């Protein structure tokens, strides 16, 4: 082979070698991003994600595709994200359910604190304690006193054993020191129907899916399980301020990626989530749903996830709930 031909071939090989890193380092994102959700379409978390995703996409210049994977306490959604390539194109809507799963299951196929890179907390969801509109109970104290007067006579409804609503019901029973019969229902509509008809005397549920029922007078809110009253239900006291001091239960969600996701991607996504949540129309729509924007830094969200795992573990232990 002539010297000139060897030089040409060598330059071609060198150029190809240099082009591969150049392609690999194209600015993120350059294709759609998949956001995996651990629940079916239509729920409050799904609605929240679908509301803010287009606004985040505007800043990123790429669409965000919502991928619903319901089932098994969020494990079906979380496991593939934890094992995905950490390139910023697969992320998870991490929720309270992931923390309650940590507390309820003896083992999981991932570690919530170790296998995810926190990006930002998105929102919090207040919980509420409800009864039928024609119920004789006007306050949470009325229900607790009725349960003390006749142990086992009060039904306390929730959904899905092991989630925040169910554990909130278990915590209420434990803190009040009363014998209530906890009845789990398959879905929120089932629980609402049973509460409306009086089959359930007291229901533990997230505010968002029942807010319209309360505002329309079909259900009576006895107490919020939050630290503060909800702005759209300002006349409903918190359990902590009056009838059951110390009782506070809430839900949340946020975005996370696989653990080794580059810091630059974490920061860019965090910035765009914060921008979307700061938009006045987004904030207004979220509040109308019963959702409170709760944006945070990646570090704050990471610390929050750890504290939530510890808190729910304490609740499970103190309420003597058997692990699965």
Residue 292 lies in a domain: yes
Residue 314 lies in a domain: yes
Same domain, yes or no: 193 and 289: no
Residue 119 lies in a domain: yes
| The two structure tokens encoding residue 190 | 């089932």
Domain that holds residue 222: 126-233
Residue 182 lies in a domain: yes
| The two structure tokens encoding residue 241 | 């301020």
Contact 164, 101 (CB under 8 A): no
**Confidence (pLDDT) at 25:** 60
**Confidence (pLDDT) at 23:** 41
Q: What is the dihedral of CA 114, 115, 121, 127, to 10 degrees?
A: -80
Same domain, yes or no: 188 and 151: yes
Q: Considering only CA atoms, which of 299, 281, 300 is closest in space to residue 289?
A: 281
Query: In this structure, what CATH number is given to the domain that contains residue 256?
Result: 3.40.190.150
Burial letters for 117-148: b for 16+ Cβ neighbours within 10 Å, e otherwise?
bbbbbbbbbbbbbbbbeebebebbbbbbebbe
**Distance (Å, rounded) from C-alpha 60 to C-alpha 218?**
42
Query: In this structure, what CATH number is given to the domain that contains residue 213?
Result: 3.40.190.10
Give the predicted TM-score (pTM) of the model.
Answer: 0.82
| The two structure tokens encoding residue 229 | 């009253």
Q: What is the residue-wise DSSP string for 251-270?
A: EEEEEEEETT--HHHHHHHH
**Distance (Å, rounded) from C-alpha 274 to C-alpha 10?**
49
Same domain, yes or no: 276 and 299: yes
Residue 137 lies in a domain: yes
**Confidence (pLDDT) at 322:** 79
**Confidence (pLDDT) at 300:** 98
Q: How would you write the pLDDT of the chain (324 residues) with one tens digit per residue?
A: 444 445 444 444 445 444 444 444 679 999 999 999 998 888 788 989 999 999 999 999 999 999 999 887 889 999 999 999 999 999 999 999 999 999 999 899 999 999 999 999 999 999 999 999 999 999 999 999 999 999 999 999 998 777 888 899 999 999 999 999 999 998 888 999 999 999 999 999 999 889 999 999 999 999 999 989 998 899 999 999 989 999 999 999 999 999 999 999 999 999 999 999 999 999 999 988 889 999 999 999 999 999 999 999 988 888 777 788
Helices (H) and strands (E) in the chain, counts: 11, 10
Same domain, yes or no: 141 and 106: no
> Where among 190, 206, 233 does a domain terminate?
233
Q: Considering only CA atoms, which of 230, 295, 298 is closest in space to residue 55?
A: 295
Same domain, yes or no: 221 and 132: yes
Cα–Cα separations (whole angstroms), residue 110 to 85, 167, 259: 15, 22, 11
Same domain, yes or no: 131 and 229: yes
**Distance (Å, rounded) from C-alpha 250 to C-alpha 264?**
31
Contact 29, 62 (CB under 8 A): yes
Contact 293, 120 (CB under 8 A): no
Same domain, yes or no: 93 and 162: no
Q: How many CB atoms lie within 10 A of CB 299?
A: 9
Q: How many CB atoms lie within 10 A of CB 238?
A: 22
Q: Considering only CA atoms, which of 39, 59, 268, 112 is closest in space to residue 49?
A: 39
Same domain, yes or no: 193 and 213: yes
Q: What is the residue-wise DSSP string for 130-198?
A: EEETT-S--SHHHHHHHHHHSTT--EEEEESTTSHHHHHHHHHHHHHT---EEEEESSHHHHHHHHHTT
Same domain, yes or no: 106 and 170: no
Q: What is the dihedral of CA 58, 59, 61, 64, to 10 degrees?
A: -70
Same domain, yes or no: 168 and 118: no
**Distance (Å, rounded) from C-alpha 89 to C-alpha 66?**
12
**Distance (Å, rounded) from C-alpha 248 to C-alpha 320?**
18
Which residue bears the tokens 């006579």?
153
Number of separate domains in the chain: 2
Same domain, yes or no: 278 and 201: no
Same domain, yes or no: 200 and 260: no
């Amino acid at each position: 082979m002539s010297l000139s031909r060897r030089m040409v071939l060598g330059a071609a090989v060198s150029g190809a070698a240099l082009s591969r890193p150049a392609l690999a380092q194209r600015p993120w994102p350059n294709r759609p991003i998949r956001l995996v959700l651990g629940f079916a379409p239509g729920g409050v978390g799904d609605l929240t994600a679908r509301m803010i995703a287009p606004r985040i996409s505007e800043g990123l210049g790429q669409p965000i595709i919502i991928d619903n994977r319901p089932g098994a306490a969020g494990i079906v959604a979380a496991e593939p994200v934890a094992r995905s390539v950490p390139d910023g194109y697969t992320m998870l809507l991490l929720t309270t359910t992931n923390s309650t799963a940590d507390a309820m299951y003896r083992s999981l196929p991932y570690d919530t604190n170790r296998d995810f890179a926190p990006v930002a907390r998105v929102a919090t969801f207040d919980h509420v304690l409800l009864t039928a509109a024609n119920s004789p109970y006007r306050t949470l104290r009325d229900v607790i006193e009725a349960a003390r007067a006749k142990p086992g006579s009060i039904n306390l409804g929730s959904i899905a054993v092991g989630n925040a609503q169910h554990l909130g019901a278990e915590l209420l029973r434990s803190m009040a020191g009363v014998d209530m019969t906890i009845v789990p229902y398959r879905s929120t509509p089932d629980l609402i129907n049973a509460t409306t008809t009086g089959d359930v005397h007291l229901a533990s549920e997230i505010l968002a899916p029942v807010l319209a029922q309360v505002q329309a007078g079909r259900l009576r809110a006895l107490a919020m399980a939050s630290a503060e009253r909800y702005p759209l239900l300002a006349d409903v006291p918190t359990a902590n301020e009056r009838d059951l001091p110390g009782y506070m239960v809430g839900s949340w969600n946020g975005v996370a990626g696989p653990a080794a996701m580059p810091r630059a991607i974490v920061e860019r996504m965090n910035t765009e989530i914060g921008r979307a949540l700061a938009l006045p129309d987004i904030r207004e729509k979220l509040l109308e749903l019963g959702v409170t924007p709760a944006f945070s830094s990646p570090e704050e969200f990471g610390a929050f996830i750890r504290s939530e795992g510890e808190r729910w573990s304490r609740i499970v232990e103190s309420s003597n709930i058997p692990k699965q």
